[in-house]
Structure 1
């Protein structure tokens, strides 16, 4: 075991539903990056429950494609819950539009999933120095040009609080206000107030428009045609 290379990152939380990858990544983080403690969760909800229960990792590594959430929405919810903990996206989807959307939604960096261990170390070095990390061959879109619909959707979703993001997820699943109130153990009037705030922040006039905008941040809209997410 090496001495921690980055003392600020003594504890890491890996959120990924592939056990073998989690094991391999944990070994890399401990032996090559110097992270002393690595925990894992196979779903976003499981990770959020740990954070709610008091878990406080120093850094989080997130796969965007999870069983209970798809695309940028999970990153938005996680950042709201983690309250300042840097989130590194680790994904097999290294399309420039996916990377750009993740960065716009507040990711501390983006690491292609099967990168060599040197890349993971470089990512931690960048984050420790206060910089965002991107793959070597990533070409950022023209900052002077207009945001794409995907980037715009990610930026709007990032405005939501954690509770609002959770309610939007339930709306996308077809839940009515009464059902959402039951699921979250809150008053239906509170749900209505949140829905109003969600639509205002997203700049939409209806629940249907809110769902459509959320889908703009999904993998289906971020990837080129005829590309299947892995």
Structure 2
């Protein structure tokens, strides 16, 4: 059943995507008792959230950490935005420098709340977002727009299917096709076909160029350096 906003404009149902149980518990208490969100669901992996959305579940608002066990950087936000429907996505992250905030907004986030903000900040953020606004950290105007290269990188990454995005992330971690095939339980020829499609969509010729483009979208501090010699 799709989530519905309450008559006073508050959100009735939220999904928190974060792999730290204690933080999820604390955030759930804040959202329920202070913000007024009646139902709080959690997922500790991006794929778990994507599977539930694909099965027809819906939420009024989704809170996303940028660094999860199965995804890192803006890739998770891009993938989530494509299947979240009308639900606004609020990034809740310890990485809150101006470039990351700007990139998250560019990728479709409706709000950005530093992870250890006081509960009053969450209340303000959700009031702004419920009213249709964009919430940024206190004292931070919308930063200068990301450079054209970053915008183009995000747009290209958004074209990838979830499977392709997963494969690209593994490439960024240095995995070769054989290891990727083993990890995903698919044929190596399938991986090769996906890699070819990834490069075509990203407009690159080599794996290293694909990693560098992914780093451009994620501002370098969320992905490892590209493997040497590839």
TM tier relative to shorter chain: 0.7 to 0.9
1:122–1:8 CA distance, 2 compared to 1 (3 A):
closer
1:99–1:151 CA distance, 2 compared to 1 (3 A):
farther
Q: How many matched pairs?
A: 217
The corresponding residue for 2:205 is: 205
Q: Is the 8 A contact 1:13 1:57 kept in 2?
A: yes
Say which of 62, 67, 72 aligns to 2:64: 62
- The two structures, once aligned, show a CA RMSD in angstroms of 3.1
The corresponding residue for 1:160 is: 160
The corresponding residue for 1:130 is: 132
The corresponding residue for 1:172 is: 172
Pairs within 5 Å for 1:191-230: 192=193, 195-218=195-218, 220-221=220-221
| Shift, 1:113, TM fit | 1.0
Instruction: Using structure 1 for the length normalisation, give the TM-score.
Output: 0.78
| Shift, 1:198, TM fit | 3.3
Which runs of no fewer than 5 residues in structure 2 stay unpaired?
Answer: 1-5, 224-230
| Shift, 1:200, TM fit | 3.8
Q: What secondary structure, in the 3-state scheme, does the structure 1 residue paired with 2:141 have?
A: coil
The corresponding residue for 2:42 is: 40
Q: Which moved more, 1:161-170 or 1:123-132?
A: 161-170
| Shift, 1:159, TM fit | 3.8
Q: Is the 8 A contact 2:9 2:130 kept in 1?
A: no
| Shift, 1:56, TM fit | 1.5
Q: Is the 8 A contact 1:6 1:128 kept in 2?
A: no
The corresponding residue for 1:97 is: 99
The corresponding residue for 2:22 is: 20
Pairs within 5 Å for 1:4-15: 9-15=11-17
Structure 1: how far apart are the matches of 2:176 and 2:124? 43
Instruction: Using structure 2 for the length normalisation, give the TM-score.
Output: 0.78
| Shift, 1:97, TM fit | 0.6
Structure 2: how far apart are the matches of 1:6 and 1:188? 54
Structure 2: how far apart are the matches of 1:84 and 1:186? 36
The corresponding residue for 1:87 is: 89
Quick check: 1:30 aligned with 2:9?
Answer: no
Which runs of no fewer than 5 residues in structure 1 stay unpaired?
Answer: 224-230
Q: What secondary structure, in the 3-state scheme, does the structure 2 residue paired with 1:40 have?
A: strand
